[in-house]
A and B are shown apart, each in its own frame.
Chain A
Amino acid sequence: MSTTTTTAAPLVARSLDLAYDHRQVVTNLDVSIPDGKFTVIVGPNACGKSTLLRALARLLPPAQGNVLLDGTDIAKMKTKAIARRLGLLPQSSIAPEGITVGELVARGRHPHQSFLKQWTDEDEAAVLRALRATNTEELSSRQVDELSGGQRQRVWVAMVLAQETSLLLLDEPTTFLDVAFQIELLDLFSQLNNEYGHTMVAVLHDLNQACRYADEIIAMKGGVIVAQGAPADIVTAELVHEVFGIDCTVIDDPVTGAPMIVAGKPKKTFAER
């Protein structure tokens, strides 16, 4: 919130076309991810938001256009060099049978290691920091299979943090978690963004959570960006209608003052019914 110097966007997409097996998902899209901000991408199912995130993380090569990481075309960079700059929490990962939390988080150090230098003091410290940040240090000797869904997701977040990248992409990190864990995780991301200046980009489903936590919202529909900006500047009933096709009322969030979406239009009050 404090950065006043306008730094160049670390992640930029230029006239991006994205497709799976010739099925075009995103068409001619331009976007800049602001440095040091918490950006949230929202939109209805199949609007291309996860596809865009995958392209930004070089998991999906674009059919047209390019993605620039710190000004360099990501397709021309070594994947390991990218992995030291940009971390991704994918929608689904696999925990090998019997693996312990400490070992799984340690795998996040992969981009910093080489055949002859597989484990250093720096690796040990980075993993410890990641475990502490996600409050999973006391789980480190437990098997990942034995954990609850919320604990497991925190462990995966720890693995991405152990990668020690200042740019983090999160693909639906809160899906399948109960509301308490959702809030806990979002608070954690918000803190990482606030206190360490990490640039975060998350795909979220819950519009109100997006409004509460995001510095910047990118609203997508049908493979194009409908609006981008601070929640207070762009989230209106008209936008929600345009993007999600639902009627709603936007009020001030009584806790944060951010916009808050309440479904439905106030035709009648309850008392009048």
Chain B
Amino acid sequence: MKTAPTRLESTAMNIDRSVLPGEKIDFGRPMLRIFGQRIDMRVVMTVGIVTLLALACGFAGLMLGKFSLTPGEVFQGLFGQADRRIVNTVVGEWRAPRIIAGIVLGAGLGVSGAVFQSLTRNPLGSPDIIGFSTGAYTGGIVTIIVLGSGYISTALGAIIGGIATAALVYLLTWKGGVQGFRLIIVGIALTAMLNAFNTWLIMRADLELAMAAATWGAGSLNGMGWSTITPAAIVTVVLALACGLFARDLHTLELGDDTAKALGVRNEPVRAALILVAVALVAVVTAAAGPIAFVALAAPQIGRRIAKAQGTSLLASAAVGALLLVGADLIAQHALGDIQLPVGVVTVSIGGIYLIWLLVQEARKAK
């Protein structure tokens, strides 16, 4: 009978896995443990600063305009306590809804963009690039033409349009699984087709409806009132929080499908749920403010870079999204004196430059 072979003398390190209580991992950055969560202090600081900047922009937006106000008047106006009643109206009815819209909808776009870029593992995999915003817009126009305008019906139409577009992109991309880059190419192609379809719809519509659809189509916070922003903001916050519930799964999915599944993530149900919620998020924003480009594309990348976050940070992306939209709207309203631009024009202009830079980066990486 053969004898069992002797074991090799190990050349590797000796395993000393003993850990003393209180020993900490060096993550290379301060970590705070609170309520059973491990929190990256750099991310918290960044989110705090960016949020303060967004609020400052919002405050400036409340002050500026044909009827300019002092900071004191704005405060009084916010609580309806100003001596002159007109101040209460200007702050509370005219300007505040718009600022809230900029902050909340911007944050929603940031979260939605972060989810899609994480799922496609590509910075170009953003809802405004791969057709989901455009599809939501198509759904919105069809609803306006058929049912007339109104936030709730337009929002539902936009959600249906967005989800239908997402399903179509997913189906056209499916090849025993969905590969990020294919999805982006298919999405860009579908965006072009939908844009043509949208133009055709608007050209055929009555002048009045066409005007409404076109203004909305540029992406604008003009004329935003409480009746629109209240439901839009509530739904946006709820959907963004829903994405937050999946943040851990999202982070694990970033390690690749096999690794995620081995770590206990139910890949396909989680992905489907995240896509649904994030499409609904972008559709709700689109229904309120039109297809605003660039925010969903840029916010996650900017957020990740300044927070030096590990993978996707939904929180940083939300904060940067809020700052971008409220800041862009400030520029759109006040940069050209009396001429008010739709905020979408500003974001597209900045976004165009950013997109070129991003494409150059990606092309370099591909080499």
A interface residues, Cβ below 8 angstroms from B: 1, 21, 54, 57-59, 78-84, 86-88, 90-100, 102-104, 106-108, 110-111, 113, 115-121, 123-125, 127-133, 135, 137, 140-142, 160, 163, 183-184, 187-188, 190-192, 194-195, 212-213, 230-233, 253, 255-258
Contact = CB atoms under 8 A, between A and B. Distances in A.
A93 B24 contact: no
B12 A21 contact: no
B206 interface: no
Nearest to A233: B2
B334 interface: no
Contacts of B8: 187, 190, 212-213, 255-256
A124 B258 contact: no
B37 A256 contact: no
Task: Pick the 10 closest A-B CB pairs, nearest first.
Answer: A141-B28, A83-B264, A119-B38, A80-B264, A187-B12, A258-B5, A90-B258, A88-B262, A96-B311, A111-B264
B93 interface: no
Interface stretch (B14-22, B63-71, B164-172, B225-233): B14-22
B367 interface: no
Given A124-B25, A132-B15, A191-B15, A119 B310 contact: no
Contact of B121 (A78, A94, A102, A120): A94
Interface string B240-279: 0000010010011011101101111110000000000000
Contacts of B18: 129
B72 interface: no
A91 B309 CA distance: 26
Contact of B28 (A102, A120, A257): A102
A104 B213 CA distance: 47
Contact of A125 (B23, B254, B256): B23
B304 interface: yes
A53 to B, nearest CB: 11
A171 B83 CA distance: 74
Nearest to B245: A115
Interface of B: 2-8, 10-13, 15-19, 21, 23-29, 33, 35-38, 121, 176, 245, 248, 251-252, 254-256, 258-259, 261-266, 304, 308-312
B308 A98 contact: yes
Contact of A96 (B12, B26, B255): B255
B27 A59 contact: no
B266 A94 contact: no
Contact of B27 (A88, A100, A123, A213): A100
Contacts of A120: 36
A232 to B, nearest CB: 4
Contacts of A188: 12-13, 15
From A79, A110, A184, A187, residue with most partner B Cβ within 10 Å: A110
Contacts of A83: 262-264
